[in-house]
Amino acid sequence: MHANRELVEARISRFLRERLEPARWRERRPLDIAAWTEPGEPVSFGEAAGREFLPFNAGQAWGAPWDTTWFRVSGTVPDGWSEADGVRPELVIDLGFNGDGPGFQAEALVYTEQGAIVKAVEPRNLHVPLPHRPGETFTYYIEAASNPNVIAGFTYAPTPMGDRTTAGSAPLYVFRAADLALLDVPAWNLARDFWTLNGLMHELPMDLPRRYEILRAMERAVDAVDPSDIPGTAGAGRAALAAVLASPSYASAHRISAVGHAHIDTAWLWPVRETVRKVARTFANVLELMDHEPEFVFTASSAQQYAWLRDHYPDLFDRVAKKVRSGQFVPTGGMWVESDTNLPGGEALARQFVAGKRFFREEFGVDPEVVWLPDSFGYSAALPQIARAAGARWFLTQKISWNETNTMPHSTFLWEGIDGTRLFTHFPSVDTYNSELSGQELARAQRQYAEKGFGNTSLVPFGWGDGGGGPTREMLAAAERTADLEGSPQVRFSSPERFFAAAEEELAVPPVWSGELYLEFHRGTYTSQANTKKGNRRSEHLLREAELWAATATVRTGAAYPYDVLEQSWHTVLLQQFHDILPGTSIAWVHQEAERNYARVAATLEAVIEDAAGTLLGSGDTLAVLNAGPYPQQGVPAGGAAAASAFAESSGSWERTDSGWHLTGPRLRLTVNDAGLFTSLIADGREVFLTGRPGNHFQLFRDVPNQWDAWDLDAHYRFSSTELMQPDAVKMEDDGRVLSIERSFGASTLVQRITLSPDGTAVDLTVDVDWHERQKLLKLAFPLDVHADRAASEIQFGHLYRPTHANTSWDAARFETVAHRWIHVGEPGFGVAVANDRTYGHDTIRDEVDGRTCTTVRLSLLRAPVFPDPGTDQGPHRFRFSLRPAAGIPEAVSEGYRLNLPVRTVSGVAAADTVPLLAVDNPAVVIEAVKLAEDRSGDVIVRLYEAFGGRATAQVTAGFGYSSVAATDLLERPVDSLAVGRAGDGGAQLSLRPFELVTLRFRVG
């Protein structure tokens, strides 16, 4: 025999592409079509069906951006078209799909004439089942969304399509077909046989006999099938492949748990309102598959998406609930949405689980044990403790496979958080959460599985995702054929829980990864869409205030607690922590809506706070100051109120000199030159800045990443900076207490105001920027005379140390990092804290100046990416910062709370003082939340954590009567806790490990 492998492979590929795939349907007949268009928000089936439909033809243009067109298709099943002799009637709907995948273009939901949902129609999923008999007429309604393909071609070019006001009204699609078709089942199966074997063959080594067995079997099958009579010869082709398909897998083959999945971004290149419909389409597809394949298991996270289904599609929700009870449809994740985990605050990340798990328990009676976050942009080192405190056992992520620099060394491992909590974690070696179970993907999963010799099982999430769609019948066929196939991993349908139980059993001693799972990619997400991030930060702290004062008012006066109002506000905030909203990577429509929602939440919570304060303090002529923070501020106790007379005013005075300005207080002396730069800051006799390296230095960088504009901040940004040195004006404000510095650059302006903090320990900075740049990055730098080999950054319920050097590739890749309210650098005996009220992106590096090292802390203020929102961040912004020298970690923690939870003045009250509802006697133990219990029993819940990074004991004292106190998990269920010691009438004694999180429940009544 002569070698002709390449020729045979080319023949097979063309046969599959040009002969088998088009032969899926033996016959197609066009249907009668009528249509009407809704240019506004989607309407219900009942309203749509009652509208006037006009005649419509295949080949006609339709669908302005973001419109909805309802098509009505009608026909009669021809005589002889029944499910017999290997054929099956069905509808084929092609809305004008292009070659891109599902979720990024037009898609539709199909209804019966009575309004029952059948399934969705999407690219690569065109068919609709047809249960009608020969001679029967039928009518179906198709709700088609003409969503624009915002990311077409992945060029990241600016597009008007992400904003309804700029998207235009020209039709985007040409309706291609609405046909009654006769599926040729043998031909379809033959195509699936070829697709599976061809994909497997190309992954096998050239010297493996199995590769050539498959090649020659497919060659014989091509010979056996007559292209002019595929229906009559498909059986012969399948017979030629039967032997190679029946050959069993190796005994040592990699084991794959195939979990049906559809990653549905809660918002991204489409608005939230469209995600509601994407959920219905995807779940309808899944339910239709389940009715035909009882072994198929599908999982979906995000309680919010189930809630939308319940509220907007109750019949579909009931069908899902039945499949949940049967075990085929598996809720997972346990969170309200698949949240970002870098940016939400600690309490907000905890509430993702509280809200999500509560929904799953109440609606389905299930308590998911898997944290399912395949696509979030890196994972906080606080997450293991939070997840375990919510009752989770396992964690899954995929996104770390996107690392630009380093490869994650493990597939299955124990992930250790900042407090020492460990969480069994799987990182699927298939490197995708949108698998179609192709030969290439299965081979990659086997090849890249890192724990070979210790374990042999990995999970593959399969189904079209990002924009939804889910698994298809072709994917189920691939799973069936690779269940036991020589040369391929063994594929079995599974749930996430079954996979994790098996993986945990086989991997007796998992490796350990300690610290954050930093994504070496998408670093711009810490800064993009500053107003969205501001809204989140402010909402988190308003929620804390509202819950504290409402709980205090209820316990002290018996006033009604606003459970529903607070829950609705939390749900809005949790929704917008989704990993394409809060990170700033969605279209303009999404962020405009988010900002409106934050404004509404703020107004609602301000009203709750005002009402609670009035109820608590009574009505009168007194002026009182409330402090919702965990530390005393300006004479007001933590969690309490005091008369306004106790309120401490700002200290310090400015003095003009020949070279600039001096600000002198009892503990600090600041020198600002005529350029507005900090040339000297002396605290406790120690100079903060090096000569020639002043602080308060604004820098403008070119910011043009290679790809993924709003997501990415590439390392090369550092090589093109503009120093904003000379101000336009420097002047005094507020009777000489505030120094104001005005600058202009490009098309933007900046006004900075400088003063001392009320207690005189920190320099307070307010920065107003009117931003009109494009593809630029604005940073504020403080080069500090501190030799620090690491920087501490606040994360949820603690802080994380990161090196300031770049000794390794892992260090170098962390050139932009996330911090919450503060960052701290120090050396033994002296440190500096920089706090903020809305900033997350930072970088901290060491420089040499005249033979001495300094540590530069820079905060990323604003970016201006042009995709997917070309208007990102344009307009006014206000930032607040504090620079606190002679500070350790305790001072950094208190500064972060001071900036984010400033005292609140209320007027028209009768009383001025109120005892805090709860108090703690150790500043290392922080009260993070005070609220009433989720079960509406009236019990008081308090959440605390150790904030300084050491062991701490503390007495928690309640300022109210209660019958008992006990430790609970995040879901407020009793747990045994070594941290909670003696508990009695006075409160509870705590003994906490570093960063340990504790929830206490005080039973009232």
* 3-class secondary structure, 537: helix
Number of H helices, E strands in the chain: 18, 53
Q: At what angle do helices 185-201 and 473-481 cross, to 10 degrees?
A: 60
- The DSSP code for 571 is H
173 sits in which H/E element: strand 173-174
- Tell me the two tokens of residue 986: 């006075």
Note whether 545 and 901 are within 8 A (CB). Answer: yes
Give the list of residues 6+ apart from residue 811 with CB closer than 8 angstroms, or none.
Answer: 803, 805
Measured distance CA(181)–CA(238) in Å, rounded: 23
Measured distance CA(985)–CA(1003) in Å, rounded: 12
Q: State the distance between the two ends of the chain, measured CA to CA, in whole angstroms.
A: 91
Query: Buried (b) or exposed (e) across 858-893, using 16+ Cβ within 10 A?
Result: bbbbbbbbbbbbbbbbbeebebbbbbbbbbbbebbb
Q: Which residues pair with 339 in a beta bridge?
A: 578
Q: In Å, how far are 257, 313, 588, 693 from 572, measured between CA atoms?
A: 35, 20, 18, 44
- DSSP 3-state percent helix, strand, coil across the chain (nearest 5): 30, 30, 40
Note whether 642 and 649 are within 8 A (CB). Answer: no
* 3-class secondary structure, 115: coil
Of the candidates 741, 739, 750, the residue with the CA atom closest to the CA atom of residue 670 = 739
Note whether 742 and 751 are within 8 A (CB). Answer: yes
Region of residue 582 (left: phi > 0; alpha: psi -120 to 50; beta: else): alpha
At residue 282's C-alpha, the angle toward residues 278 and 287, to 5°, is: 145
32 is catalytic: no
The per-residue DSSP string of 233-275 comes to: HHHHHHHHHHHHHHSPPPTTPPEEEEEE---B-SSSSS-HHHH
Q: Which candidate in 94, 375, 431, 674 is catalytic?
A: 375
Give the list of residues 6+ apart from residue 759 with CB closer than 8 angstroms, or none.
Answer: 634, 648, 651
Report residue 381: phi and psi, to 5°. -70, -5
Residue 631: other Cβ atoms inside 10 A: 18
301: number of CA atoms within 13 Å, CB side?
31
Amino acid at 878: R
Measured distance CA(229)–CA(219) in Å, rounded: 18
Active site residues: 375
